[in-house]
Amino acid sequence: MPCHAVKFTLKIYRAAIFHTPRNPFLAANGVVAYADGGLAVENGKVLDCGDYSSVAKARPDAAVRDLRGGYILPGFIDTHVHFPQVRILGGLGYGLLDWLEQLTLPEEARLAEADYASSIAREFVSALAAHGTTTALVFGSHFTGATASLFSAAEERGVRIFTGLVLSDRSLRPELHQTPDDAWRDSKSLIERFGSGRYAVMPRFAMSASEAMLTVCQTLLREDSSLRFSTHINENRIEIHETARLFPWAADYLAVYERFDLIGARAVLAHNVHAGPTELQRLAAQGASIAHCPCSNAVLGSGIFPMGRHLEAGVRFALGTDVGGGTGFGMLKEGLQAYLMQRVAPEPMTLTPAQMLYLATRAGAEALGIADQTGDFGNGKAADFVYLRPPEDGVLAGVLQRLDDPDRIVAALFTLAGAESVGEVRVEDRAIFNRCGI
C-alpha cells in the first residue's frame, strides 16, 4: 500500500476508553480503562488501544480526532430484538400470550404490506444505531418481503445484523402461518439472496411450530453450517404448560428443540427464565447461549432470570432488549435492569460494572460466535464503537464531573445514560449515527 494511503486511513480517536476483553464472571477482571485513551484505527480495524500518549507516540503520522469529554465503549450487541415490534413498545399490563394475541401479532400481520414493512425496517435500524447498538441478532418477520427489507435497510445503514424469516405454522393467526414447504423454499431464497453468514433460522417458539416445521429448521441447519439458530424458551409458565401439552413426548421444553438437533454453539435462545436443572446442564454441554432480556421479563411478568444458576452450570448468556416486549432499544438500560432484578432475586447477586459492560458487548459477540471480530478493542477487531457524550446541562454530566474511578464511571453511565447521551456510533469505523454538533 502506498504511504499516502496509510496516512489517509490511519486515525486515532482520543477519549476515555472502556472495554472488557476478559470475562469478568470468570475471574476478578475489571473494566479495562484508559482515562486519556487512544483508539488507533486503520481500514475499519483496531490497530491499537491504550493510553493516548503511547498509542500516539507510535504513530506520529496519524490523524487525531479529539473526543475528550466523552467515553468510547465497544458498540453494544443486542442478542434478541424483534424488528416488527417497534411500534408496539409501551404496551404494558399483559402476560406473554395475551400480549401476543392482542397487541403483537396484529401489528406483525401489518408487515404483509411492502411499503409499511420497509418503512418499519428503516425505523428499526435507525433506532438500533441511535442507541449505540452496532450488532444485533434480530427476530425478523413472518413475511419474506419484510425480512428482505430488513436485510436491505441494515446493509444500507451499516448496522451488523443477523436475522431470518420467522417460521410458524400453528397457534398464531392464519396470516402469519406458512406451510413447512413454503418455509423451506422462502428461507432458502433469502439465504441465497443475503448470504448464510448473517442468516438465522427462527421458529417463533415451540408452540407455534409443528414437528414438520421443526424438521424444516433441522434440514436448513444441517445443509449449511454457517447458519445461526434462534428462538424462545422457558419464558412464561402458561407457555411452558402449553408446550408440554403439544409435545407430550418431550421431558421438558429444551427437549423439543433437541429432538430436531437445533441446540448447539450456534443457538441463541431467548429468556430461559424457568429453566429446569437438567436443561441448564444440557445447554452448557451443547455450548448454546441465552439472550437474557430483563426489561421484557419484568414488563410481561415472566419472572426473574436465574442468573446464578446459569453461571453455576456454565451456560453462556448475554443481553437482549426484546423490543417490543421490553422497554426500548437501550442496552445500557437493559444492563441496569439486569442489575436491578438480580439485586432483588430470590438468590440475589450484585453485578459489577464490568459484568454489566461485558454483558452488553463482548458476551453478545461470544454468543454469536464473532468474538474474534467485535465486542472489545483487541487488535485486528472491527472498529465498532459508541461514543457517549452526555448532555452538558444534564444530571449525568454533573455526576461524572466528580468521578475518576472507571468502575464508578461505567456504573453511572449504565444508571443514567440514555439515547440523548449517544454522540456517535461507528461500525468498522463507518459512522452509522452522528448527533449534530459532535
Q: Which residues bind ligand GUN (CB under 6 A)?
A: 82, 96, 100, 104, 204-205, 232, 235, 296, 322, 325
Q: Between 144-157 and 114-130, two packed helices, what is the crossing angle to 10 degrees? A: 40
| 239 touches Zn ion by CB under 5 A | no
Q: All 3 cell numbers of residue 8?
A: 489517509
Partner whose binding site includes residue 205, from ligand GUN, Zn ion, none (CB under 5 to 8 Å by kind): ligand GUN
Partner whose binding site includes residue 375, from Zn ion, ligand GUN, none (CB under 5 to 8 Å by kind): none
Q: How far is the CB of 104 from ligand GUN (least distance, A)?
A: 6
Q: How far is the CB of 373 from ligand GUN (least distance, A)?
A: 28
Closest residue to ligand GUN, judged by C-beta, is 325
Q: Which is nearer to Zn ion, 78 or 384 (CB)?
A: 78
Q: How far is the CB of 84 from ligand GUN (least distance, A)?
A: 9
Q: What angle do CA 204, 252, 278 make, to 5 degrees?
A: 115
Q: Which is nearer to ligand GUN, 16 or 254 (CB)?
A: 254
Q: How many CA atoms lie within 13 A of 67 on its CB side?
A: 28
Burial 345-362 (b: 16+ CB within 10 A, else e): eeeeeebbbbbbbbbbbb
Judged by CB under 5 A, how many residues of this single chain contact Zn ion? 2
CA 334 to chain centre: 10
Contacts of 241 (CB under 8 A, 6+ apart): none
Q: How far is the CB of 168 from Zn ion (least distance, A)?
A: 13
Query: How far is residue 259's CA from residue 215's CA, in Å, rounded to a whole number?
Result: 9
Q: How far is the CB of 222 from Zn ion (least distance, A)?
A: 25
Partner whose binding site includes residue 260, from ligand GUN, Zn ion, none (CB under 5 to 8 Å by kind): none
Query: How far is residue 335's CA from residue 340's CA, in Å, rounded to a whole number?
Result: 9
Strand pairing category for 166-167 and 422-427:
unpaired
Q: Which is nearer to Zn ion, 106 or 394 (CB)?
A: 106
Q: How far is the CB of 247 from Zn ion (least distance, A)?
A: 20
Q: Among the candidate windows 100-108, 316-324, 342-350, 394-402, which touches Zn ion by CB under 5 A?
A: 316-324
- Binding to Zn ion (CB under 5 A) within 253-292 occurs at 270
Partner whose binding site includes residue 274, from ligand GUN, Zn ion, none (CB under 5 to 8 Å by kind): none
Q: Which is nearer to ligand GUN, 239 or 424 (CB)?
A: 239
Q: How far is the CB of 397 from Zn ion (least distance, A)?
A: 34
Q: How far is the CB of 98 from Zn ion (least distance, A)?
A: 15
Q: What angle do CA 46, 47, 53 make, to 5 degrees?
A: 110
Partner whose binding site includes residue 169, from Zn ion, ligand GUN, none (CB under 5 to 8 Å by kind): none
Closest CA to 72 of 47, 108, 40: 40
Q: Which is nearer to ligand GUN, 146 or 396 (CB)?
A: 146
Query: How far is residue 24's CA from residue 364's CA, in Å, rounded to a whole number?
Result: 14
Partner whose binding site includes residue 334, from Zn ion, ligand GUN, none (CB under 5 to 8 Å by kind): none
Q: Among the candidate windows 149-157, 314-322, 330-338, 385-393, which touches Zn ion by CB under 5 A?
A: 314-322
Q: How far is the CB of 100 from ligand GUN (least distance, A)?
A: 6
Closest CA to 419 of 113, 110, 177, 89: 89
CB neighbours (10 Å) of residue 135? 27
Q: Which is nearer to Zn ion, 271 or 389 (CB)?
A: 271
Q: Give alpha helix (H) positions in 131-224.
A: 144-157, 180-194, 211-223
| 322 touches Zn ion by CB under 5 A | yes
Q: What angle do CA 43, 45, 48 make, to 5 degrees?
A: 115
Which parts of this chain interact with Zn ion (CB under 5 A)?
270, 322
